[in-house]
Structure 1
């Protein structure tokens, strides 16, 4: 057996690993009241509390850690990523933390706010000339041409970790946060899927520890994950981009592991926007539209538990905060232009919270 080399304590790799480990602070677990369902405890795991404001922070921290650990990322190496959103922001953050130059290749459709956030962390942006789905290949080519290290967060999401996680994982954090709660082992965990890394990590954790908690993935319109899960077709593709940033993909990605998932709940995009707005107004949690997708699915599951005459805990993942969506999903003009009218869905949520009655068609799926 080959022994893995351990960097000397004074060299760059050792310092980089220490800095990455020091960044691994747990995020808050926030309760949300459903007055008509006193037997159910609903919590939001607020990943927007990360320094870069999204759940992608965890994935990129682990990606940098693994690259430093295996020696493929060394002092001074330029880092290149292809991403149009939160993953590139997190990549810029960690590159600056380790003193490395960073370039993100973004699709032409990437909002100006993403460019600004990458620049705020010292990164550079290039707009890809190819379709959005091809920015990964353009980034790979750029890294090869400049002697940089291409970080492929989609491919990394599809790889199982080798041995115990070096830092506390999301499942451990959630269960630690529920110690002393009325329902310390939740009935359901609910998350969206973008790369698939988060749902796979949670699914592995539940099975590794033999927990009865079930895992649900909330999937927006146009995404391939629900039809892939329902049909058993591993390479399902819709060819249509998601309107809910951070989750949903036009094709199934390597990180999506249907065998680790108990249920995939399709959620209308308008319902995602309505749930995001409702959560902010009633619970004071300013989260992004992907959180709305997960909340809508969590209410569906809470209604099922109530219909079964059982209680329990549900934890949904808040993938990011609301700030990046001030001019999109939180803007009335933008919503109208996209044909999204959230008012009926908001009324459904308010009715459910106050009466416990869930009457929207998704409850019958």
Structure 2
């Protein structure tokens, strides 16, 4: 005798929720691609007598409705969870986040009408906390950043909710082949530039989802573009990549990254090291210096992870100039600096956290002038 079991869900609510997110996507224009004018040392005359050089671009993800790169990820995570049946009309969505992802997820939770809780380090900037709460989210703080995973899973059990888990789902929730993802957007916007296929794309890693999407897309489309991932101090991504030792995946650091949004005390499941061509470990003071420098250059504040990106991008620019290798480098402007007014942009706060960057900022200014690093430049 046949036996039948059914667990049918309300597809009409899911249909409406997906439609709301898709409509929001259509209302949002693509983010800007900014060309940064490099000094004269980055340009020369080629062997054919034509102008050559290195061009630098910033993909400005701060222009998303929720103000950061994480808007793309949050949208993908919600669509993924909705279509998997993990989020229903009565589901409380829970996330472990250092800030920007939670801001974006709170936005989408509010859009489809479900509660949202962000489990986050107590040291997260007050500006980000206010943004989460403005979108109707609730913040659950932990003193030890390494505890966010366990606390989020515990809340999922206690509340019968859904832990959306960006650190596991980021690399699989995004369509890396090209469906309004960041890789496709970069290449479309670069298509009319002097060097339309970038020599390098430089990104940081928080979940690893962005680097996985970019690395897979580059291979799928057959581009020669190389992918560089920059990593801050107190992160396991770089040492794991350096050693190619899988055992790092089971290691946890006792302290977390001091550069909000990137770097992790463990190797996250979404970190796909095989698609990365190079990693650069960037000292925190250099990240802060680059954040301050770029804010001056653009006459607008940018966040600290953008500083990390810029340091890596400029290292590659200098390498290409020295080798007289013409081409383009693209990196990301992840979020606006206004979210860090009481932290990274406050000299007293930086002093309290031993994030002194005066010497590094002076070195960066010298580099910008002459195109070489070091005091003998």
| Structure 1 residue 346, shift from structure 2 partner | 1.9
- Paired residue for 1:93? 107
* Deviation sequence 1:213-261 (CA, Å, 0-9, x none): 0000111112111111111123424433111000011121111111100
**Equivalent residues of 1:220, 1:293 under 8 A apart:** yes
Q: 2:372 aligns with which of 334, 357, 364?
A: 357
Q: What's the offset of the Cα at 1:195?
A: 0.7
Q: Is the 8 A contact 2:228 2:278 kept in 1?
A: yes
TM superposition outliers: structure 1 runs of 4+ over 4 Å: 160-165
CA distance in structure 1 between the partners assigned to 2:141 and 2:355 by the alignment: 28
Pairs within 5 Å for 1:1-365: 11-24=12-25, 25=28, 26-35=30-39, 36-38=41-43, 39-128=53-142, 131-159=144-172, 164=177, 167-236=179-248, 237=251, 238-359=253-374
Deviations 1:291-331, CA, capped at 9 Å, x for gaps: 00010111100011011111110001122110111111111
| Shift in CA distance, 146/292, structure 1 to aligned 2, threshold 3 Å | same
Aligned equivalents of 2:86 and 2:112: distance in 1?
Answer: 14
Residue deviations 1:29-50 (CA, integer Å, cap 9, x gap): 1111111213111011111111
Contact 2:175–2:181 (CA<8 Å) still a contact in 1? no
Computing the radius of gyration from Cα coordinates, the structure with the larger value is: 2
Paired with 2:56 and 2:87, the residues of 1 have a C-alpha distance of 41
On the 8 A contact 2:301/2:337 being kept in 1, the answer is yes
Q: TM-score, normalised by structure 2?
A: 0.88
Instruction: Report if the CA contact (8 A) 1:235-1:252 is conserved.
Output: no
DSSP 3-state at the match of 2:124: coil
Q: Answer yes or no: is the 8 Å Cα contact 2:98–2:121 preserved in 1.
A: yes
Equivalenced residue count is 353
Describe the superposition over 1:107-149 as per-residue Cα deviations: whole angstroms up to 9, x where unpaired: 3333333322111001122234x73222222222222222222
CA deviations over 1:155-213 (Å, ceiling 9, x no partner)? 10243757855x41110000111121111111000000011111111101101111000
CA contact (8 A) 1:239 1:251 kept: no
TM-score by length of 1: 0.90
Structure 2 unaligned runs (5+)?
1-7, 44-52
Give the direction of change, closer, same or farther, for the CA distance of 1:174–1:285 in structure 2 (3 Å limit): farther
Aligned pair in 2 of structure 1 residues 219, 84: CA closer, same or farther (>3 Å)?
closer
RMSD value over aligned CA atoms? Answer: 2.2
Question: In 2, distance between residues paired with 1:163 and 1:314?
Answer: 20
